[in-house]
Amino acid sequence: MPLEIITVPCLEDNYAFILHAPLTGLTALVDAPEAAPIIAELDKRGWTLDFILLTHHHWDHVDGVPDLRAKYGPTVIGAEADAHRLPDLDMQVAHGSRFSLGNVEVSVSEVPGHTVGHIAFHIASVNALFTADSLMALGCGRLFEGTPAQMLDTMQMLATLPDATQVYSGHEYTATNAAFALTVDPNNTDLQARAKEIATARSQGAFTVPSSLLIEKKTNPFLRAHTSGIRAALDMPDATDLEVFTEVRLRRNEF
Ligand code: ZN
Ligand code: FE
């Protein structure tokens, strides 16, 4: 196994992810909503923390950093563009940056929309993409800072990654996202089937993250502005993809 990935539920509905490379013994964390559940998972396995990767500056993704830094002294990595409003960074990265966690290569994409400095981390060797509040399971993050055009660009860029890519997003919002998605893509049979699976998973307390990029492309309305089904449901047959995407995002805000 080249990389173990542990999902750690934090706060109300956040996810952090612990990555551990058995070969080198190195451990990294993607986002730090709060320290306690992360420390508990590390303790359980006898791991310490060598790196923290931060996706964006929101408190529910960074508030655990001071305690984790004090306890483990990890290398903290985040976006150069947001260095002024992230916790202190030991390494600043930007679009196209590559770095390695021991023998594990990570590449960085800027994925603006939710915030302007949001980044995603891609580990191609294990088909893992850490998207936090950009591309989410059946959704995308709210546009607090960016424009619909920026988020649509972000979605289109991420959609070019391999179908087998596993998308690790930052929150358990999938059940609500499914209920909304059905309102704008009601005749999508893949979506109907996925909504049922999600309801079952949640009733058993299972996580719906990660999900494959393939299933996102088939069911996530924010990756499907170009499809006739959504255009028909919104009565926007001749609109541009951006107009459709903007309308879907607006309706999700009000859902
Ligand atoms: Zn956020
Ligand atoms: Fe968040």
CA of 131 to the centre of ligand 1 (A): 11
Please report which confidence band the pLDDT of residue 175 belongs to, taking 50, 70 and 90 as the band edges. Answer: very high
Question: For residue 180, which phi and psi values (nearest 5 degrees)?
Answer: -65, -50
CA of 132 to the centre of ligand 2 (A): 7
Domain architecture of the chain: domains with CATH: 4-254 (3.60.15.10)
The Cα–Cα gap between 14 and 99 comes to: 25
Ligand nearest to the CA of 113: 1
Report the 10 Å Cβ neighbour count for 98: 10
Query: Any residues with CB less than 8 A from the CB of 89 and at least 6 apart, and which?
Result: 54, 76, 77, 78, 83
State both tokens at 169: 């997003």
Ligand nearest to the CA of 143: 1
CA of 177 to the centre of ligand 2 (A): 15
CA of 50 to the centre of ligand 2 (A): 23
Which pLDDT tens digit goes with each residue over 101-125? 999 999 999 999 999 999 999 999 9
Which pLDDT tens digit goes with each residue over 193-226? 999 999 999 999 999 999 999 999 999 999 999 9
Instruction: Report cis status (omega within 30 of 0) of the bond before 33.
Output: no
Ligand nearest to the CA of 11: 2
Which pLDDT tens digit goes with each residue over 139-155? 999 999 999 999 999 99
Question: For residue 46, which phi and psi values (nearest 5 degrees)?
Answer: 70, 30
Q: Is the dihedral of CA 213, 214, 215, 216 positive or negative?
A: positive
CA of 95 to the centre of ligand 1 (A): 19
